[in-house]
Amino acid sequence: MSDDTSRGDKPSENLDDEIEAALGGHSVLEIAGRELLAPTQRKEAEVKTGNFAEGLVTVVGREDLFVEFGPRLQGVVPCAQFSQLPEPGERIKVFVESFDGKESLYVCSVKRTAQAAEWGGLEVGSIIAAEVKAHNAGGLELQAGVLTAFLPVSHIELERVEELEPYIGRRFDVEVMEVDPEKRRLVVSRRGLLNRDRDQRRADVTSALVPGSVLQGEVTRVEPYGAFVDIGGVEGLLHVSEIAWKRVEDPNEHVKVGDRFDVQIQKIEEGGKRISLSKRALTDDPWDLFVRDHPRGSLVPGKVTRIQTYGAFVEIAEGVEGLAHVSQLSPVRVNSPKDIVRLGQELSVRVHEIDTERRRIGLSLLTDRGDLLTDDVADDDTIRDVLNRDRPAEPTLGDLLKRALEGK
């Protein structure tokens, strides 16, 4: 029997050693894994930095995990990036960060892979939770899971925000405005969510409101045209004309942010988007009180508040003004009210007429006979100039003779 036959009939006592030598230090699973790649796949395998690649897990070490993409194409991934380590023989998708020429290894990451999974689930209008990590001149930088998002300053609140530092560390929901995975650009907004939330609260609150209701409110903002007042989750406008009965030039002189007081609902429009409020409606109307106590012909003290070409407005009680028409300033024709009265002047006036329907009070500086109430209306020289301006010139002796002859 030949030596070959005898070797074939009798198993080698060193079989384990021979198998180990044949595997060359690799496991059967590793060899099988490589064989799973078809020849065409091995030939066409291509790995580029900055792209994704799929590979076979070959070795899972204490710190690093090795992936084989094809013949002589291997990558390494830190084990710390996995929430659960894969087993050798599993296929995983990784992001190729760079190439280490010294070790002939591609440095890979699964963090970008996780990001890609989240990118794939995003679209305009998606709602995601995020935490503010930093800020810059343009807005806030957010962390949404493994993604980084940008929240423009104009979309943080319903009103423009000046101080961004207090937002650091805050968490809130945001709405995706723009998503571009290729450019890794994710822009979000909070304003839209706040708008919808406000509209919903407004609908809930206004459903129980009716004109005439009295509620306590708090001033949230003051503008030249009035003040915005929170009346329980929604805002209404307290127009400058509804702050007080008297004329209000500057709302800041009457209300300030944080003030709390009762207001009455005047109107509810556009499904509650426009709520008109009044503060003065909750106090007695000084116009009614004045008319009750001062009938036509009454003499009252007043102060000139405005002068127009057609006359002068005189405040005759707090919150009550009357108009002294130009025809009621002097017994003779007056070219300009400024010739007779001056702004801020205090004088006596007579209640000339009362129009309750239009809530107007006419004043006069004349008596019922047409004489001046007092010479204090203007100084003597001014009155004399006005009177002489329209008074006919004194007739001369020649004028008298001429009239006599014409009479004959």
pLDDT at 77: 93
pLDDT at 31: 43
Q: What's the Cα-to-Cα distance from 287 to each of 44, 51, 245, 246, rounded to whole Å? A: 94, 80, 9, 10
Mean pLDDT across 158-180: 90
Q: Which CATH superfamily is domain 286-390 in?
A: Nucleic acid-binding proteins (2.40.50.140)
Same fold, 121-194 and 286-390: yes
Work out the number of other CB atoms within 10 angstroms of the CB of residue 6.
9
Residue 82 — φ and ψ, nearest 5°?
-100, 135
Tell me: the pLDDT tens digits for 44-54? 457 887 778 88
Name the CATH code of domain 15-114 (choices 3.40.50.170, 3.40.50.300, 2.40.50.140, 3.30.450.40).
2.40.50.140
Name the CATH code of domain 211-282 (choices 3.90.1300.10, 2.40.50.140, 3.20.20.140, 3.30.230.10).
2.40.50.140
Amino acid of residue 29:
L
Mean pLDDT across 208-217: 88
- CA–CA distance, 306 with 314 (Å, rounded to integer): 7
User: Per the confidence metrics, is the pTM higher than 0.85?
Assistant: no
Domain ranges (residues) in the chain: 15-114, 121-194, 211-282, 286-390
Tell me: the pLDDT tens digits for 275-310? 999 999 998 888 888 999 999 999 999 999 999 999
Residue 182: pLDDT band (50, 70, 90) is confident
pLDDT at 106: 93
- CA–CA distance, 156 with 232 (Å, rounded to integer): 22
Tell me: the pLDDT tens digits for 325-358? 999 999 988 889 999 999 999 999 999 999 988 8
What mean pLDDT, rounded, does the chain reach? Answer: 82
pLDDT at 195: 87
pLDDT at 16: 52
Compare 265 and 204 and report the one with higher pLDDT: 265
Whole-number percent of the chain with pLDDT over 90: 43
pLDDT at 300: 94
Residue 38: pLDDT band (50, 70, 90) is very low
pLDDT at 83: 77
Mean pLDDT across 202-209: 77
Report for 17-21, 39-43, 48-52, 142-146: range of highest mean pLDDT: 142-146
- CA–CA distance, 134 with 76 (Å, rounded to integer): 32
Q: Using the predicted structure, report yes or no on whether residue 176 has a pLDDT greater than 50.
A: yes
Mean pLDDT across 203-214: 82
pLDDT at 42: 41
Q: What's the Cα-to-Cα distance from 84 to each of 90, 145, 290, rounded to whole Å? A: 13, 18, 85
**What top-level class would CATH report for the domain 121-194?**
mainly beta
Q: Using the predicted structure, report yes or no on whether residue 32 has a pLDDT greater than 90.
A: no
